[in-house]
Amino acid sequence: MGTFRISGLVLRSLFKRPSTTKHPKVAREWEDGTRGRVLIDAPSCILCGICAKRCPSDALAVDRAGATWEINRMRCVQCSHCVEVCPKKCLIMDKQYTSSSMSEVIETAEIQKADKEREEKTPE
């Protein structure tokens, strides 16, 4: 009985599409709603710091004086809370995942001060 079942499985597998892809030759297609990594549209950021204050895993740092926005990708738990609270909607959850690494992955975005000054002068 067991032999028949196994033979059936083997035969079915021979004619089925493989479950795996030829990565990296074939690019992975991510499902809708995949939360891979946080990306910032730096020119839209006003350095308000709300995202960093609301991040549950302390993965974000906003330095107004230095005009930088920083993310520690090893701390981020992809909860998407920063994306939801950003008043300028300049954060998104990209579908790509951060590459594996043996050390902390900290990415820094430099926010143009000239853009900030222009933004502050522009009434909403």
Using the contact rule CB under 6 A, the part of the chain among 16-24, 38-46, 94-102, 113-121 near ligand SF4 is 38-46
HEC string of the chain?
CHHHHHHHHHHHHHHCCCCCCCCCCCCCCCCCCCCCEEEECHHHCCCCCHHHHHCCCCCEEEECCCCEEEEECCCCCCCCHHHHHCCCCCEEEECCCCCCCCCCCEEEEECCHHHHHHHHHCCC
Q: Which stretch binds ligand SF4 (CB under 6 A): 18-26, 41-49, 95-103, 116-124?
A: 41-49
Establish if 67 lies at the interface with ligand SF4 (CB under 6 A).
no
x/- mask, ligand SF4, residues 86-115, rule CB under 6 A, reads: x-x-xx------------------------
61 interacts with ligand SF4 by CB under 6 A:
no
Residues that bind ligand SF4 (CB under 6 A): 38, 40, 45-51, 55-57, 59-60, 62, 69, 71, 76-82, 86, 88, 90-91
